[in-house]
Amino acid sequence: MQMQVSPLAQKLAQQLSMIYQEVKLNESVDELATSLITLMHIDANALPPEPFCNHWTEEDVVLITYGDSIIEDNCPPLQSLHCFLDESIGSSINSVHILPFFPYSSDDGFSVIDYSSVNESLGSWQDIKAISEQWHLMSDLVINHCSSRSAWFDNFIKGEGQGSDYFYTASPEDDLSAVVRPRTSPLLREVETGKGTQFVWCTFSEDQVDFDFRNPEVLKSFVSIIRQYLDAGVKIFRFDAIAFLWKTIGTSCINLPQTHEVVRLLRTLIEHARNDAVIITETNIPNTQNLTYFGNANEAHAIYNFSLPPLLLNTLITGNCLYLKRWLMSMPPAQDGTTYFNFIASHDGIGLRPAEGLLSDEEIQILTTTVQDFGGKISWRTSDNGQQKPYEMNISLYDALQGTISGPDQWNFERFMCAHAIMLALEGIPGIYIHSMLGTQNDYQKLENTHHNRSINRHRWQVDALEKALTDESMHHAKVLSSMKNLLDIRIKQSAFHPNATQFTLHLGLQLFGFWRQSLDRKQRIFCISNVTDQPQLLPLSELNLIITESWYELITDSEITELTQELTLLPYQSVWISNKGHNG
């Protein structure tokens, strides 16, 4: 009698057939599907989650942090972070993205030596699980590459053992002219191995060696890793550098169909293991390419809104929202089951590839010059035609917003809060870098020590120094933290700020940037409007067509609007959230 194959196994086999259609396998796709189900410890007959289900609400806000962003003597950094979350953040944020917390050799964690261990200098799996019990935990799956100091790569050099066939190799004679990558370092690294001289593929650096997913054993290893992370309490997976996963000589080696299919396959496995788990793809690429990672609501649950940081920064330093407004009008609403992940600062720089086609070369030049004038650095990449082009701007967000194209001014704090008032109100889930919560400025000492541009925005706070900064009224840090928490506490109570609530762009000229949100049940409406200039601007309420039979409130100041025909004067960089429901939504 023929054994009946489960729908899950059938689906996985179909996906595997798509991935490996040009690869000769040592086992059938049916056998491989069964192996993946076993490695994931899931019931082959388990039912998938409801399609187009939103695993998020307006209460979801993610804090982005390194495990050692806050340190103190004689205490594991993960425990110091936990105390900070308890004592200083509280209920304002319900999710935490701890950047790679594994043993690593370079790139501040993104060159992983051992995926199964917690870096001893940070703490333990117990510390990770303790955080996951209070907050939704987001973790990186550094899936494109690993450290050249890993046991896997050691075995590659030996030519035997697990990992000996895990890495992608090519020949210097291959035509690699079409390859797209974000670095200027050599793509191929010459290595002497037990099998002779080989040239390993290094998309990012010679210490970060790319995997060869043509070998299904690599896929199996990562499925086991995912299972371990789920068991440790991870709910949200950030697929790091996923766009570069699959390589085919003679192509661009970015966004290939097999890469998209791998995302779909891993989603199938993850959502059968935990039906409220979320996958976010990290694809720092032009906007139109980035959108493809939604698939048909069957790939990433969320995609990083990479175009937002450079466009919003451009808006606030020029006092003109033309490009930000154009982009927002062009963005398709995320269908149910998907959403955007909004951020304006992170451990990386402010990427410029996502601004390509949205900002002109002249606008990008003005932007990079201004950032350099404010103490920032520019990282470069090699374009298709061999030209050096700016890849990202490295600067703390607080310092990036210290002035305009005319230079520094007195509106640093107001401009910084305006940026967050805009970001927090947009369609999607907001992610806030810990250094934005604290108003951290450029770390020139760390930059000097590491000689890596990204270090400028990866400060480590000593607990004593942080406590002093948060109690010294002459410093801005306490004011930033208090104001950010106030905005968050308002946001998470508004149903119109659900990540999938309706959004329309308002037409209020180029000095006022505005959009309208409406809750899924259509009961709450919020007009989100910001003055993006250093001069007062008039907002005629009559242009908003507020329904006169309803009461209207300005949520940020918690005040009622009694006259719907009046003109509001918005001070430089002031934001208003005008709602038909009061402060508590």
What's the number of domains the chain is made of? 2
Residue 440 falls inside a structural domain: no
Residue 292 falls inside a structural domain: no
Q: Which residue has the tokens 């086609």?
A: 357
197 forms beta bridges with 192
162 forms beta bridges with none
Distance of CA 199 to the CA centre of its chain: 31
The strand pair at 552-554 and 537-540 is best described as: unpaired
pLDDT for res 1: 41
136 forms beta bridges with 95
Catalytic residue among 240, 348, 399, 443: 240
Q: Give the 3-state secondary structure of residue 124.
A: coil
Amino acid identity, position 537: Q
Distance of CA 465 to the CA centre of its chain: 28
Q: Specify whether 240 is catalytic.
A: yes
Which tokens belong to 384?
């298709």
Range of the domain at 149: 145-210
The beta-strand segments (E) located in 143-187 are 145-147
Residue 83 falls inside a structural domain: no
CA dist 19 and 223 (Å) reads 15
Distance of CA 463 to the CA centre of its chain: 26
Domain boundary (191, 210, 229) is at 210
- Burial class of residue 346 in the structure, from the number of CB atoms within 10 Å of its CB (0-12 exposed, 13-18 middle, 19+ buried): buried
Q: What phi and psi values does residue 80 have, to the nearest 5 degrees?
A: -65, -40
Per-block mean pLDDT, blocks of 10 residues, the chain (585 long): 77 97 93 97 87 95 98 97 97 98 96 98 98 98 98 97 97 95 92 96 97 98 98 98 97 97 98 96 91 96 96 98 97 96 96 92 96 96 78 97 98 98 98 98 96 96 96 94 97 98 97 98 97 98 92 96 92 98 67
Q: Give the 3-state secondary structure of residue 254.
A: coil
Residue 112 is classified by DSSP as B
pTM of the complete model: 0.96
Residue 205 falls inside a structural domain: yes
Q: How far is CA 128 from each of CA 76, 209, 393, 536, rounded to the nearest angstrom?
A: 11, 27, 31, 47
Altogether, the residues listed in the chain come to a count of 585
H-helix or E-strand spanning residue 561 = strand 559-561
H-helix or E-strand spanning residue 238 = strand 234-240
CA dist 247 and 244 (Å) reads 7
Amino acid identity, position 38: T
- Burial class of residue 291 in the structure, from the number of CB atoms within 10 Å of its CB (0-12 exposed, 13-18 middle, 19+ buried): middle
| Residue 173 CB partners (closer than 8 Å, separation 6+) | none
C-alpha dihedral sign at 446, 243, 238, 214: negative
Specify whether the CB–CB gap between 372 and 442 falls below 8 A: no
Domain boundary (188, 210, 232) is at 210
pLDDT for res 550: 93
Looking up residue 522, the CATH number of its domain turns out to be 2.60.40.1180
Residue 196 falls inside a structural domain: yes
Domain boundary (210, 230, 245) is at 210
Residue 241 falls inside a structural domain: no
H-helix or E-strand spanning residue 268 = helix 257-273
DSSP string over 40-107: TT--TTPPPPPTT-----TT--EEEE-TTSEEBTTB-HHHHHHHHIIIIIGGG--EEEE---S-BSSG
Residue 164 falls inside a structural domain: yes
Neighbours of 195 (CB within 10 A): 14
pLDDT for res 334: 96
Residue 425 is classified by DSSP as H
Looking up residue 180, the CATH number of its domain turns out to be 3.90.400.10
530 forms beta bridges with 513, 575
Residue 182 falls inside a structural domain: yes
